Amino acid sequence: MTEAGYFDPVSVDEVVALLAADDEAKCVAGGASLVAMMNARLVEPSRLVSLRHVEELKKIETAEDGWLQIGALVRHCDVAIADELADGNQILSQAASLIANPVIRDMGTIGGSVGHFDPAADYPVALSALGAEIEIASEKGRRRIPVSNFFVDWYETALEPGDLITCIRVPPPPTGSTGIYEKLAKVKGDLGIAMVAVIMAMQGDAVSHLAVSVGGCGPKPIRLPEAEQALIGGSIDEAAIQDLVGKLSTASDPVDDVRASAAYRKLLIPRLVAQAIGQAKVNLRDGS
Partner 1 sequence: MVAEKTTNEMYQVGKSIPKVDAREKVLGRAQYIAELTRPNMLFGAMLQSPYAHARIIAYDTTAAEKVTGVKCVLTGDDFEDHKMGPFIKDEGAIAKGKVRYMGEPVACVAAEDEETARAAALLINVEYEELPTVLSPEAALEAGAAVLHEDLADYFKVFEAIAENNLMSYTEISEGDVDKAWDECDLIVENVYETQAQNHLSLEPCGALAEVEPDGLINLWSANQSVFRVQANVCECLGLPMSRVRSMTPKVGAGFGNKMEAHIQPLCVALALATKRPVKMILSREEDFETVRARHPFKIRCKTGVKKDGTFVAREVELLLDGGAFADDSPGVLGNATLMSVGPYHFPHAKAFGKVAYTNHLRFAAFRGFGNPQVTFAGEAQINDIADKLGIDPIDLRLKNVLAKGQQWFGGQKVDSNGIYECLEKVRVSSDWDNKRKNSGENGIGISVAGHISGLLATGAIVRMLEDGTFVLNTGATDIGQGSDTVLTQICAEALQIPIDRIRTATPDTDASPYNWGTTASRVTYTTGRAVVGAAEDAVRQIKDYAAIVLESLADDLELREGGMVGIKGANKEVSFFEIAAMTHWGVGGPIVGSHTLVFDQSTIDPKRAVAKGMPFTNIGVFTFAAMVSEVAINQVTGKASAEGAWYAVDVGQAINPGLVEGQIDGGYAQGLGYALFEEMIWDDGRLANPTLMDYKVPGTAEVPYDIDTTIVEHPEPDGPFGAKGVGEITLVTVPASICNAITHASGVRLRKMPFSPERVLNGIIENEIT
Ligand X SMILES: Cc1cc2nc3c(=O)[nH]c(=O)nc-3n(C[C@H](O)[C@H](O)[C@H](O)COP(=O)(O)OP(=O)(O)OC[C@H]3O[C@@H](n4cnc5c(N)ncnc54)[C@H](O)[C@@H]3O)c2cc1C
Question: Judged by CB under 6 A, does residue 93 bind ligand X?
Answer: no
Residues 23-82 that bind ligand X (CB under 6 A): 26-34, 36, 51, 72
Considering only 90, 109, 138, 213, the residue that binds ligand X (CB under 6 A) is 109
Chain centre to alpha carbon of residue 148:
11
Q: Which of 68, 70, 74, 107 binds ligand X (CB under 6 A)?
A: 107
- Which residue, 165 or 212, is less far from ligand X as judged by CB? 165
What gap in Å lies between CA 127 and CA 234, rounded to an integer? Answer: 25
Beta strand 133-138 with 164-170 is antiparallel
Judged by beta carbon distances under 5 to 8 A according to partner kind, the member of partner 1, ligand X, none in contact with residue 273 is: none
Contact residues toward partner 1 (CB under 8 A) are 36, 184, 186-190, 193, 258-261, 263-264, 267-268, 271-272, 275
Which among 101-109, 145-153, 228-236, 245-253 is the span making contact with ligand X, rule CB under 6 A? 101-109
User: Torsion angle of alpha carbons 145, 158, 124, 230, nearest 10°?
Assistant: 60
Please state, in angstroms and rounded to a whole number, the distance separating the CA atoms of residues 281 and 207.
10
One DSSP character per residue, 176-218 reads T-EEEEEEE-SSTTSPPSEEEEEEEEEETTEEEEEEEEEESSS
Residue 205 CA to chain centroid, in angstroms?
Answer: 30
- Nearest approach, Cβ of 191 to partner 1 (angstroms)? 8
Residues of this chain that interact with ligand X (CB under 6 A) are 26-34, 36, 51, 72, 99-100, 104, 107-109, 111-113, 115-116, 121-123, 164-165, 191
